[in-house]
Amino acid sequence: MENKKGFADRFDWTLAFIILLFLIISLFAISSAQTTGQYGINFIPKQLVWYIIGSIIIGIVMFFEPEQYKKLSWYIYGIGVFLLFILFVLPDSLALVKPMNGAKSWFHLPIGDIQPAEFMKTFYILGLARLITMHHEQNLIKTVKTDLILLVKMGVTLIIPLAFIMQQPDLGTSLVFLAITVALIIVAGITWKIILPIFLGGLGMGGLLLWMAVYMQDFLSDNFGFNPYQFARIYSWLDPYSYASDEGMHLITSLNAIGSGEIFGKGYGERIVYVPENHTDFIFAVIGEEYGFVGASIVVSLYFLLIFHLTKITLQLKDAYSTYVCAGIIAMITFHVFENVGMTIQLLPITGIPLPFISYGGSSLMGNMLAIGLVFSMKFHHRTYMFSKNEDD
């Protein structure tokens, strides 16, 4: 009966429209960012190509039903881990995996540099969603014990890709994995008796470490073997003006750019401040400077709209697996946006992760399109069963 509906009815036009808006914002921001001519490359056509490839990915992903992903979850997860493993074991000297900027995170393919970790995020979500679903199917009666077992299983699933990514090293992406896990722990329905102590304890520990990094660095470096450069990251975040490291300078230029945008911004192409990497990780500085508070808020709100839309879809879905996948995708996008925008406005320390759909970059865009493709698929293949009403009771 679901087949009675045509393509146009089942396709999520709203979501497509939001992505289209991001494409437009992305092209405007990148074209302004590259006016400094620091790279001598025109990124606009490249980004367009990535968007086209991304759309094709969405099309392919949408073609398959969520049920199929559910079945294949572990294989997909396995492929992702395998890619990370390959990247890890191949020698640095090999041109294919040569480290860039001190991190071995990319396969240098003829079509461009591909970062497996970007895809692994989505694969991990699939694996985790499947894990949770299966766990709940096997343990209909939830107890603290079954919840703990679930938690351990999730931990194991997390630790495998995380270990590979952290040694690349890639702190930003590692944090994304943590964010996804945290969100799914909440949504998976694990009892508050476990969640609260863990989260509060984690927050407390983080706060304490931060406090100690500022006031007791000797204690930390003597007893826990922290390196001075790790404190440097904290200082350059909290007080970039007196701690003029590279990161501190980066933050200052970013703050100058965004702050001087004031309410309405300077207009397209009128930016003055040169922020390094402003076509990728620091693209928000361009938006903040040229379009001011109004423009920056609109972009942030557009992300919120996307999240809101995804949440709405999630709540409509009847199938638990799809719900978990969506929740993971929501967490992934949220964390990217919050961390990326946050680091440009001194809300969070600088870590290298891109702004989804806007920053220039093939892997990142394809990874995100893959995730969004899954949402499209769920929406597209979503069925309203006759007896669903009973189920909802």
Partner 1 sequence: MRKIPNKRAQNMKAKQRANITFRMNILFFSIFILFTMLILRLGYLQIVKGEDYTRELARTEEVPVNTSVPRGRIFDSEGRIMVDNLPQRAITYTKMQTTKSEDMYEIAEELSLLIEKIPAGITKSDLQDFWLKENPEEALELVSDKERKKIEANEDLDKKEKSKEINRLTRSRITEEQLNSFTPEQLEIIAIYRVMASGYALSPQIIKGDDVKEEVSVEEFARVSERLGDLEGVNTTTDWRRVKNSSLAILGTTTLPKIGIPKDRLDYFLARDYSRNDRVGTSYIEQQYEEVLQGQKSVVKNITDGKGRVIDIQTVFEGEPGKDLVLTMDSEVQLAHEEILAKELLKYSNSYGGKYLKHAYFIMMDPYTGEVLSLVGKQVGSNEKTGAKEIQDYAFGAFTNAYEMGSTVKPATVLTGYREGIYSINATLVDEPIRIKGSAPKSSVFNRSGSIRVSDLQALERSSNVFMFKTAFGVAGKNYVPNQSINFGTEAFLKMRSGYAQLGLGSLTGIDLPGEVNGETGGFADGKLLDLSIGQYDTYTTLQLAQFVSTIANGGNRIQPHVVKEIREPSEDGVQLGSVVKEMTPTILNTVDNSRAEIEQVRKGMQRVYFGDKGTARGAFANAPFTGGGKTGTAQASEYDRDAGHSFNTVNLTHVGFAPYDNPEIAYALVIPDASLESSYKTNFSTAIAKELVDKYFEIKKKNKETTEIDSTSTSLIKPAFTNAKIDEEEND
> Whose Cβ is closer to partner 1: residue 58's or residue 258's?
258
Least separation in angstroms between CB 331 and partner 1: 7
Least separation in angstroms between CB 44 and partner 1: 17
C-alpha to C-alpha distance for 323 and 264, rounded to whole angstroms: 39
Least separation in angstroms between CB 150 and partner 1: 13
State the residues that interact with partner 1 by CB under 8 A: 35-37, 92-93, 136, 140-141, 183, 186-189, 255-256, 258-263, 269-274, 288, 292-293, 296-297, 300-301, 303-304, 307-308, 311, 314-315, 318, 320, 323, 327, 330-331, 334, 337-338, 341-342, 345-347, 390-393
Which tokens go with 39? 């790279």
> Whose Cβ is closer to partner 1: residue 83's or residue 327's?
327
Least separation in angstroms between CB 290 and partner 1: 10
SS3 state at 103 = strand
Angle at 5 between CA 3 and CA 11, to 5 degrees: 105
Whether the CB-CB separation of 170 and 325 falls below 8 Å is answered with no
**Residues near 27 by Cβ (< 8 Å), separated by ≥ 6?**
44, 47, 48
Peptide bond into 240 cis (omega under 30): no
C-alpha to C-alpha distance for 171 and 353, rounded to whole angstroms: 9
Least separation in angstroms between CB 207 and partner 1: 16
Rounded-to-10 torsion of CA 21, 267, 334, 328: 30
C-alpha to C-alpha distance for 80 and 92, rounded to whole angstroms: 20
C-alpha to C-alpha distance for 66 and 159, rounded to whole angstroms: 25
> Whose Cβ is closer to partner 1: residue 265's or residue 352's?
265
> Whose Cβ is closer to partner 1: residue 5's or residue 318's?
318
> Whose Cβ is closer to partner 1: residue 55's or residue 297's?
297
> Whose Cβ is closer to partner 1: residue 3's or residue 93's?
93
C-alpha to C-alpha distance for 158 and 196, rounded to whole angstroms: 20
Angle at 365 between CA 359 and CA 367, to 5 degrees: 135
> Whose Cβ is closer to partner 1: residue 82's or residue 264's?
264
**DSSP code, position 108:** E
Q: Which amino acid is at 174?
A: S
Whether the CB-CB separation of 58 and 102 falls below 8 Å is answered with no
> Whose Cβ is closer to partner 1: residue 84's or residue 371's?
371
